[in-house]
Chain A
Amino acid sequence: MSKYVFKRLLSGFFTVFFIATVTFFGMHAIPGDPLSSDKVMSEASKEALNKKYGFDKPLYEQYFIFLKNTAQGDFGMSFTKKGQDVNDIIKQGFSESAKLGVLAILFAAFGGILWGALTAKYRNKWPDYLIMIFVILGISVPSFVFASFAQLFIVFLNQELNLVFPYRGDGSFVSLLVPALVLGLGTMAFLTRLMRSSLLEVINSDFVRTAKAKGLNSWQIFKSHELRNSILPVITILGPAIASITTGSFVIETIFTIPGLGKQFVEGVQQNDYTLIMGTTVFYGSFLVLMVLVVDIVYGFVDPRIKVGESK
């Protein structure tokens, strides 16, 4: 097991290294740099600034400097956010994004399981049809549409009913609920569909019949037999879901004014903020690699037939 984890971590390290390298050179290959702006600056200014930020050095040298600093866990200073350490930006941004992301995953997982179970139980009856319509909506409509709509709706309700329910992130926990729900919606819809089909398979299986023969009631059967056997896909997509939720959070974050990392990353890309781009890329990469590993290990706990770390 520990050998397996080590192996995975090592390969993850190379993955991140590869991503970082490609991003680094890709980023520099794109025309423009953090210093380019609407108004042209003089050659002398450009030279002075290039020198100040080390852009006058050959690219490979800049690359090695980047590697060296990254190895020491230092992503340097942001180019466009003066005086701010990229490390600090990531730390702060991620703590916001993580709160939002965890909530979103919880919503998505619970919602997906609940709705999936309902559709399977009432398959081909109206609750099934109704929920599946929402599922299709949830999968096909991009989350920012829901986000704008949800915000507008809250603002409308607040006005009509004289409430002050938070319609944007103001740092409170309650203000994260709606954004998280919206953020998790796509994944929730996807999970509902997945859960439905895997439950349908399980519901008709022999061991469910056995459970019935044991005298279990339907809740007991659902809880300890059907759910336990159909939840695997949920865990399988948890890795990709975490990825899509953390990267998809950008629009939600801007709409709901949550100062998360997704927002910082996109701003970095828009501004050609080299250090910020590299920092967030390496961070996201490592985070995802780790998440997928964790999910794989959890997988082994849930399905005893899968032995983590053993080849088939």
Chain B
Amino acid sequence: MNLIEIKNLKKFFEISKGSFVHAVDGISIDIRQNEILGLVGESGSGKSTLGKVIAGLHGRSSGEVKYQGELLPEVYKASDFLRLSKEIQMIFQDPYSSLNPRMTVEEIIGEGLKIQGVPSAEVRKKVKEWLEKVGLQSEHMSRFPHEFSGGQRQRIGIARAMIVEPSFIVCDEPISALDVSVQAQVVNLLKELKDSFGLTLLFIAHDLSMVRYISDRIAVMYLGKIVECGDADEVFFNPQHPYSKLLIDSNPIADPQKEKLREFKSIEGEIPSPVNIPEGCRFAGRCPSASEECGKVTPQLKSIADGHEVACHLFK
């Protein structure tokens, strides 16, 4: 069953009169109940924007987002936020700036519950519970964010999102700002939480191996569009889209011996400006196997194997 259904979703930002950033440009994808969908792509490809639109932090320009079959409002009103924040939550990339420096940990974590009208004694209890669940201590309640390490802060961020017990969480690069040694801890925490609470996650990341490790499926994004989507292992070990291939090839390998030997391939060329979207396939300009057709016709996502979709003219 699909928890989230996205149809032809577009999100444009007007940066000056008549010129728009096509951050999300016609995305259709479903997120199944209780799965972790990994979302990868270069910086600026629109991953965060997609996540924020789903969480309601951005209104959308066009298209549909359905949650449990219910069409979500195009732009959230205060009441929508209040209602939907219990269902859909978001964990942010930067654990430093995303916590209010003037608030105690208790206030930060408890605020989401408090505005739902939960009595403060109850809130306090829950905050304590959740601090322990994310691996912190209840004494930490009265401290301020600046007294914690990055990993601890991200745990606070997780507790903050989890306390309302949502069924869907957008994790926007929750580990990219963290030390490698703590990344695994946080990922494992998310995995545990997912299992014990039956969560569904959209896991946005740069680090492909981490994404493969945690995700059930992976979607690859390029310039506001999804170019490939499929089972995590399938996409990781058998990427079909030329962009996915390059992206996965450029991923550093955990084994330093092998990493040293590897011939380093970077993706040549610059990602085009999201303001002036080129005609045809957006990757054509950087694609090693681009043909004439690629410069004219925009390829659509097509199923090439069971559950494996690619948007590329190489697959007819």
Residues facing A in B65-99 (CB within 8 A) are: 78, 81-86, 89-90, 92, 94, 97-99
- Picked from A212, A214, A215, A305, the residue with its CB within 8 Å of the CB of B144 is A305
- Picked from A215, A217, A302, the residue with its CB within 8 Å of the CB of B102 is A302
Residues facing B in A92-125 (CB within 8 A) are: none
- Report if A225 contacts B (CB, 8 A): yes
- Report if A218 contacts B (CB, 8 A): yes
- Interface mask (B157-200 → A, CB under 8 Å = 1, otherwise 0): 10011001000000000000000000000000000000000000
CB pair B97–A207 under 8 Å, yes or no, is yes
B interface, by DSSP: helix, strand, loop or mixed? loop
Residues facing B in A256-312 (CB within 8 A) are: 302-305
- Picked from A212, A213, A220, A225, the residue with its CB within 8 Å of the CB of B100 is A225
CB pair A213–B57 under 8 Å, yes or no, is yes
Min Cβ gap A199→B in Å is 14
Min Cβ gap B59→A in Å is 12
CB pair B86–A229 under 8 Å, yes or no, is no
Min Cβ gap B159→A in Å is 12
> Which residue of B has the minimal Cβ distance to A225?
B100
A interface, by DSSP: helix, strand, loop or mixed? helix
Q: Residues of B contacting A304 with CB < 8 Å?
A: 101-102, 104, 144, 146
B83, B85, B146 interface centre (most CB from chain A within 10 Å): B85
Complexed CA–CA distance, A112 and B26 (Å): 45
- Report if B55 contacts A (CB, 8 A): yes
CB pair B111–A303 under 8 Å, yes or no, is no
- Report if B115 contacts A (CB, 8 A): yes
Complexed CA–CA distance, A210 and B170 (Å): 12
CB pair A213–B101 under 8 Å, yes or no, is no
- Picked from B57, B90, B98, the residue with its CB within 8 Å of the CB of A207 is B98
- Report if B112 contacts A (CB, 8 A): yes
- Report if A160 contacts B (CB, 8 A): no
Min Cβ gap A35→B in Å is 58
CB pair B101–A215 under 8 Å, yes or no, is no
- Report if A209 contacts B (CB, 8 A): yes
Min Cβ gap B286→A in Å is 31
- Report if A216 contacts B (CB, 8 A): yes
Complexed CA–CA distance, A205 and B103 (Å): 15
Min Cβ gap A266→B in Å is 41
Q: Residues of A contacting B89 with CB < 8 Å?
A: 213
- Report if A224 contacts B (CB, 8 A): yes
CB pair A206–B98 under 8 Å, yes or no, is yes
- Picked from A214, A218, A228, A303, the residue with its CB within 8 Å of the CB of B85 is A214
Q: Residues of B contacting A228 with CB < 8 Å?
A: 100, 102-103
CB pair B112–A206 under 8 Å, yes or no, is no
- Report if A237 contacts B (CB, 8 A): no
CB pair A206–B115 under 8 Å, yes or no, is no
CB pair A212–B84 under 8 Å, yes or no, is no
Q: Residues of B contacting A215 with CB < 8 Å?
A: 81-86, 112, 115-116, 164
> Which residue of A has the minimal Cβ distance to B76?
A212
25 contacts between A and B (CB under 8 A): A205-B97, A207-B97, A207-B98, A207-B100, A207-B101, A209-B57, A209-B98, A210-B98, A210-B100, A210-B157, A212-B57, A214-B85, A214-B115, A215-B82, A215-B83, A215-B84, A216-B81, A216-B111, A217-B78, A224-B111, A229-B100, A229-B101, A302-B102, A304-B102, A305-B101
Q: Which residues of B contact A (CB under 8 A)?
A: 55, 57, 78, 81-86, 89-90, 92, 94, 97-104, 111-112, 115-116, 144, 146, 157, 160-161, 164
Q: Which residues of A contact B (CB under 8 A)?
A: 205-207, 209-218, 220, 224-225, 228-229, 302-305
